[in-house]
Structure 1
């Protein structure tokens, strides 16, 4: 029994080391390419903001507001406040709380790009953030810079992890606030806003194991860049849901798998995480049921051939980028559902 447990521990540790080694190689390769390009092409990331000193906070404004302007809402005005400061530890921190019903606070800046530089040469945004597990909304404002009354607002919600992570948002993911407005034209983006609005959910567990009020927030900014267009390094990780693993070993297996997933998400590489149910050695029949980040609801096994087929499909389907999902076979339908229904995790 002790030998079996030791063998399992060694295998899991080896698997985690292999995943991290592959990530390191891919990151080194990307860094060398970036040094060669040196910002001379659209394949280089374009620096929008880097928060390395107190001066780097200039131009960023903290604002607050509410979605409800009625008498009833005023009865639930519990107050809200926010600040953006450069701390003694050298971090740019946006923090505060929103106890008001329908309230929000936001951090906004009018972009000042170098002459001749426009965001339409790029494919999206990448933010390096230190979060507390909260949810935020990124809001680009686009329109003629000379007449902001014609500007249109777009939005995309991001979820942060406890700790630092890179968040990638393609421009195609932004949706207009007004449904009748046209898709976002990155060429016309002139203002960028990051908004916090409390959502109804369970208290967040902090790094020290203490519960945090979801109406409070803290977000550390390292940088905001425009992400290059075209092909990029892409990593598909086959993880697991934990089913099919003996109960006395499941927690250890899942811990190693989740560590690999977190390492990949924070690497900045494009990724897709696939968590199959128990693998079965049988012919693939293309009968897969896809759940979005709902590992506890996967009870079906899945053939290895179907997992391989899903991996190949993910390579050619841009809607699976930077997302995680669980898969298992069903026996009532002969199809693989569209991956366009997936949401980012």
Structure 2
């Protein structure tokens, strides 16, 4: 029995429904093959809807009422996962995969990420923009609703990540996910000469910003995060660069990706987004831990996870190592690009490292 606490509804949750969908697809395919080493898998998914207090109570219910052996693919708001962090640590429940922007994955003895560190993701984004972008004048719009956005602004501008990567930071502004229009910010960015515009927002807001800017004849290349790089973004935005946390959701044909793609296609009609791939990767990490564990208990899984060093889980992740101090990742991300309405993965499942 495994549980998941994943925000799939509420403000800023567009696309997060695929987190639970991918976990269900993995469970269905796994059970169709006889389970994990003959053990059937049961998944219970909770949605706190962005309510941190509810997230904590749901995690507690999964642990105490349903006796889950692990919490898997816990994506959504940073505040949600932070709300039950201390509880999971106290109960020594392994949390495997989830919101890769929360720093808890890098510091907790019971949290195991499927992603590179948040800092690696942030630097990797501007590194890709500098290496593959069509200009160097860099701007950013940052949501006011979540600390993740504030951290991105601080790293790229305050701590000089963008400049160190080779970009020229010329404009930044805070925005709200509930704004009806972003014309003012688009005009200011255009007047500042921005060529690459980073958006630390949700998926729906990203589309509305691009629409506002297009009405002002401002069409920069956009730098967007994993969580908003959905398949249809390529139809709304002409040119996109995105650093992916796990293997690209399109453009690869490795056995690990094909296993995911076949399971997804069997159960769902719409194309998978990055969060679906992230959730699948978390499930596969759990699966490998179960197969490696000496006993299928919470402590047994933690011990098995601690033995993984520079593991890529069939090519689904960057090289990851786990230990009592959290997830220790290398400085790598996956590279995706959108142009002319289509996504591509120029380097396939090979991470870009620096």
Could you say which TM-score interval applies, normalised by the shorter chain? Answer: under 0.3
Higher relative contact order (CA 8 A, sep 6+): 2
Provide TM-score, normalisation by structure 1.
0.24
Bigger-Rg structure (1/2) = 1
Normalized per residue, the structure richer in helix is 2
Provide TM-score, normalisation by structure 2.
0.23
